[in-house]
Amino acid sequence: MNTSGGKARAHWVLRGYGGLLNAVMAFFVVNVVLLIAAVAVDSFAKSWFRTWLPEGWTASWYTSAWKEFQLESVLTVTAEVVLFVVGMSVLVGVPAAYTLARRDFPGKRTLMVLFLLPLMVPPITYGIPLATVMYKIGIAGTLWGVVLANMIPTVPFVILVMTPFIEQIDPNLEAAARVCGAGIGRMFVYVLVPLLGPGILAASLLVLVRTMAMFELTFLVAGPDSQTLVVALYYAVFAAGVRAPQSVDAMAMLYMLSTLVWLVIALRFVNPTQLVSRVKEHPQHA
Amino acid sequence: MASLPTLQEPPVPRGAGGKLRFDPTYGLLAPATLFLLLVFVYPFVYGFVLSFQPNQGSWTSNYATFFSSPRLWPTILTTFKIAMPATLINLGVAVPLAFRLRVKSKYQKWTTAILVVPITLGTVLIADGMLTYFGPKGWLQLVLQSLHIVTADDPIRLTHNYIGVVLSLIVSGFPFVFLLVLSYITGIDPVLARAAATLGANPQQQFRHVYLPLLSPGLAMAFCLAFVQAFSVFPSAVLLGAPSGPTRVISIAAYEAAFEQYDYSMASCAAMIMGFVQLVVVSAALGLRSLFYRGPVVSGKG
């Protein structure tokens, strides 16, 4: 049906369309990179006003931000929160993922909905009732309040990430361990955990990165002594007129570096799409 | 194969003891279930009940106040006006791009790795970066000035207004939608498209008749997740918007009720209304999808 002229036109339309898509993606990526670069340049700028680059360079904003925003204690709190959240999410999430991967039982679908909801409902929506309850029983403002709040999305996340890892382990290995007399605890420690090592590592890193960046829940339940870095950054940007913008940007850089280091490590073990969903890829042949 | 029923795994041998004994494997579910019931479900129920126990007035007076106060009910519309365009733009751009990048390549790997950065950094850092980069003294204005699109005295205002919030939802939301759609598309077996190609389908027809039907549950899900996130926008609406006026979204109203007026009952009411609106939109999207296409749902995706 197609004449050769029609084919050639279709070819050019297709190439133009492909070019347009590339341009859109390139435009987006370039702007994101420049956005981050602008923060980086500003954090080292003596003064920067309506020019392409600042007039002079200095690293002194980092020392002043460190003192001004009490970053030493903020970073300590952040490390504690992240450590506890990662550890407890794995301890609570992996056993649950095991049962979900290995057993079928009535009510499994309902339970899956319970485990998926915290990942779908945005934190602000359940965070306000949560903060209300936490203020009422008095754990809001404490480190444990922040840890518990942060675990709400991470426990389901660990379950979601770990279930496919567990599914691909041969159940005969567990059966063999049980036949040899291992209880469920020993079977877990000596058979499953070593086999699941890479999966647990991947899940831990992803939880770590997500907890570093989790703003809403920490913001709603934290007190002055239990702020994580991202919440401290919010307050600094919020009160922007008060401090030098370079000082705020220096803090933003510290936040960015401490998050991106873990992201880069995480990306060695997982596919980027795993940050947003559970992935089961089909083998792709070029 | 996504659309065909998969083989059931053989049943796992149950425990060493008799069949009547309780299988301890189920005990492993207890900590996670208890934790979520206590920390997620209970506060939600508590908030729901609390919203019907106002500080003064009858049991529905919070809701009556919300829907009559000119400071409160328009926040629903404001949030819609911000969230809907942002979601549609993100989805509209993400789908063709993800379709184009569906085959594994170096390009796909690098693009996804770069796009994951804004998601990881989160809205607070993006807000800070946007204030520097899009602000009246930022690089973007300098580029526009050197192109003589704007003058130094009359810069385009991209921060502290409606546009700023929508832009921030695109910067943080587009990568999220893109990666989500990409994960759905790569989950579709390319053999199906190759079979269609063997029968003479060009890429457009492959998309329209093979990918789109299989993708529609994923697209509906991506729309829901993206919309729900955009609808609960908080930090960027405060930092990049005009939180007292044009970008006073519903989460700001809820936050103010809780932490500035200490009226937790009213705050719970606002949070419940926010959740309810999200539920309505999600149900509408999923309902629309089932009208559009009925068939096996792509499985194994969460």
Q: What is the pLDDT of residues B182-202, one digit of tens each?
A: 988 888 888 998 899 999 988
Range of lowest pLDDT (A62-71, B33-42, B101-110) = B101-110
Is A29 in contact with B274 (Cβ distance < 8 A)?
no
The number of angstroms, rounded, from the C-alpha of A10 to the middle of its chain's C-alpha atoms is 43
The DSSP output letter for A281 is P
Whether B244 has its CB under 8 Å from any CB of chain A: the answer is: no
Dihedral Cα A132, A137, A141, A145, nearest 10 deg: -90
User: Quick one: A247 and A115 in the same domain?
Assistant: yes
Coil, strand, or helix at residue A28? helix
Q: What is the pLDDT of residue A5?
A: 66
Q: What is the pLDDT of residue B21?
A: 65
User: Quick one: A41 and A177 in the same domain?
Assistant: no
Give the residue from chain B lying closest to A210, CA to CA. B120
> How far apart (Å, rounded) are the C-alpha atoms in residues B113 and B91?
19
Q: What is the pLDDT of residue A38?
A: 94
Q: Which of A35, A230, A277 sits opposite B180 (nearest CB)?
A: A277
Q: Contact, B240 vs B197, CB < 8 A?
A: no
Cβ neighbours of B48 in A, within 8 Å: 129
How far A137 CA lies from chain B's nearest CA (Å)? Answer: 12
* Average pLDDT for B234-250: 91
Which tokens hold the place of A33? 């990179």
Helix (H) or strand (E) holding A85: helix A71-102
Whether B182 has its CB under 8 Å from any CB of chain A: the answer is: yes
Cβ neighbours of B271 in A, within 8 Å: 124-126, 128-129
Cβ neighbours of A32 in B, within 8 Å: 114, 117-118, 171
> How far apart (Å, rounded) are the C-alpha atoms in residues B280 and B82?
17
How far A218 CA lies from chain B's nearest CA (Å)? Answer: 12
Is the pLDDT confidence value at B22 over 70?
A: yes
CA distances B43 to A55, B38, B262, B273, Å, are: 53, 7, 17, 15
In a domain, A283, yes or no: no
Q: Where are the alpha helices (DSSP H) in A180-283?
A: 184-187, 193-213, 216-221, 229-238, 245-267
Residue given tokens 């942060």 in the structure block:
A150
pLDDT, tens digit, 9 for 90 and up, residues A138-197? 999 999 999 999 999 999 999 998 998 898 888 999 889 989 988 888 888 898 999 998
In a domain, A75, yes or no: yes
Is the pLDDT confidence value at B15 over 60?
A: no
Domain end (from A32, A58, A84): A58
Whether B35 has its CB under 8 Å from any CB of chain A: the answer is: yes
In a domain, B151, yes or no: yes
In a domain, A282, yes or no: no
Of B1 and A135, which is predicted with more confidence? A135
Chosen from B125, B207, B265 to mutate, greatest number of chain A CBs within 10 A? B125
Is the pLDDT confidence value at B159 over 90?
A: no
Cβ neighbours of B250 in A, within 8 Å: none
How far B281 CA lies from chain A's nearest CA (Å)? Answer: 13
Burial class (CB in 10 A: 0-12, 13-18, 19+), A59: exposed
Is the pLDDT confidence value at A7 over 80?
A: no
User: Quick one: A143 and A221 in the same domain?
Assistant: yes
Residue B240 domain boundaries: 40-292
Q: Which of A35, A118, A156 sits opposite B133 (nearest CB)?
A: A35
Is A252 in contact with B133 (Cβ distance < 8 A)?
no
Burial class (CB in 10 A: 0-12, 13-18, 19+), A16: exposed
Residue A4 domain boundaries: 1-58
Closest CA to B126 of B93, B166, B86: B166
Q: What is the pLDDT of residue B45?
A: 96
* Average pLDDT for B267-274: 95
The DSSP output letter for B26 is G
> How far apart (Å, rounded) are the C-alpha atoms in residues A120 and A157?
11
Whether B138 has its CB under 8 Å from any CB of chain A: the answer is: yes
The DSSP output letter for B208 is I
User: Quick one: A80 and A2 in the same domain?
Assistant: no
Range of lowest pLDDT (A57-66, A120-129, A267-276, B12-21) = B12-21
Interface list for B 259-298 with A (CB within 8 A):
264, 267-268, 270-271, 274-275, 278
Is A133 in contact with B12 (Cβ distance < 8 A)?
no
Tell me how many domains chain B contains: 1
ipTM: 0.88
In a domain, A98, yes or no: yes
Is the pLDDT confidence value at A280 over 50?
A: no
> How far apart (Å, rounded) are the C-alpha atoms in residues B192 and B188?
8
Q: What is the pLDDT of residue B81?
A: 95
> How far apart (Å, rounded) are the C-alpha atoms in residues A14 and B201?
15
Q: Given pLDDT bands bounded at 50, 70 and 90, which one contains residue B205?
A: confident
User: Quick one: A39 and A141 in the same domain?
Assistant: no
**Domain holding B76: CATH number?**
1.10.3720.10
List beta partners, residue A57: A45
The DSSP output letter for B5 is P
Reduced DSSP (H G I as helix, E B as strand, rest coil) percent helix, strand, coil of chain B, to 5: 70, 0, 30
Q: What is the pLDDT of residue B208?
A: 87
Is A38 in contact with B12 (Cβ distance < 8 A)?
no
Q: What is the pLDDT of residue B293?
A: 59
Q: What is the pLDDT of residue A282?
A: 43
Q: What is the pLDDT of residue A285?
A: 40
Q: What is the pLDDT of residue B207?
A: 86
Coil, strand, or helix at residue B68? helix
User: Quick one: A119 and A240 in the same domain?
Assistant: yes
In a domain, A172, yes or no: yes
Whether B128 has its CB under 8 Å from any CB of chain A: the answer is: yes
**Domain holding A255: CATH number?**
1.10.3720.10
Closest CA to B87 of B159, B173, B212, B167: B173
Q: What is the pLDDT of residue B68?
A: 94
Give the residue from chain B lying closest to A126, CA to CA. B44
Q: Which residues contact B242 (CB under 8 A, 6 or more apart)?
A: B160, B161, B162, B248
Which tokens hold the place of B92? 């509209």
CA B65, B66, B70 angle in degrees (round to 5)? Answer: 95
> How far apart (Å, rounded) are the C-alpha atoms in residues B231 and B227?
6
Domain end (from A14, A41, A58): A58
Q: Which residues contact A146 (CB under 8 A, 6 or more apart)?
A: A81, A217, A218, A221, A222, A226, A228
In a domain, B133, yes or no: yes
User: Quick one: A161 and A75 in the same domain?
Assistant: yes
Counting residues of chain A whose pLDDT is more than 70, the rounded percentage is 94
Tell me how many domains chain A contains: 2
Of B291 and A176, which is predicted with more confidence? A176
Q: What is the pLDDT of residue A77?
A: 96
> How far apart (Å, rounded) are the C-alpha atoms in residues A127 and A221?
8
Q: What is the pLDDT of residue B294?
A: 56
Q: Given pLDDT bands bounded at 50, 70 and 90, which one contains residue B110?
A: confident
Closest CA to B240 of B137, B155, B130: B130
Cβ neighbours of B117 in A, within 8 Å: 32, 36, 260, 263
User: Quick one: A68 and A144 in the same domain?
Assistant: yes
> Could you give the angle at which helices B212-231 and B264-292 cross, rounded to 10 degrees?
170
pLDDT, tens digit, 9 for 90 and up, residues A10-38? 778 878 888 898 899 999 999 999 999 99
Is A155 in contact with B35 (Cβ distance < 8 A)?
yes
Cβ neighbours of A285 in B, within 8 Å: 190
Interface list for B 222-241 with A (CB within 8 A):
224-225, 228-229, 231-232, 234-235, 238-239
In a domain, A39, yes or no: yes
Cβ neighbours of B150 in A, within 8 Å: none
Q: What is the pLDDT of residue B104?
A: 80
Counting residues of chain B whose pLDDT is more than 70, the rounded percentage is 89
Of B4 and B99, which is predicted with more confidence? B99
Coil, strand, or helix at residue B136? coil
Q: Given pLDDT bands bounded at 50, 70 and 90, which one contains residue A75?
A: very high
In a domain, B29, yes or no: no
Exposure of A255 in the CB half-sphere (CA atoms within 13 A): 38
Chosen from B115, B120, B191, B263 to mutate, greatest number of chain A CBs within 10 A? B120
User: Quick one: A14 and A91 in the same domain?
Assistant: no
Reduced DSSP (H G I as helix, E B as strand, rest coil) percent helix, strand, coil of chain A, to 5: 75, 0, 25
Q: Which of A43-57, A261-275, B80-94 has the highest mean pLDDT?
A: B80-94
Q: What is the pLDDT of residue B302?
A: 38
User: Quick one: A199 and A110 in the same domain?
Assistant: yes
Q: Given pLDDT bands bounded at 50, 70 and 90, which one contains residue A120?
A: confident
> How far apart (Å, rounded) are the C-alpha atoms in residues A187 and A98?
12
Is the pLDDT confidence value at B235 over 70?
A: yes
> How far apart (Å, rounded) are the C-alpha atoms in residues A271 and B218?
19
* Average pLDDT for B216-224: 90
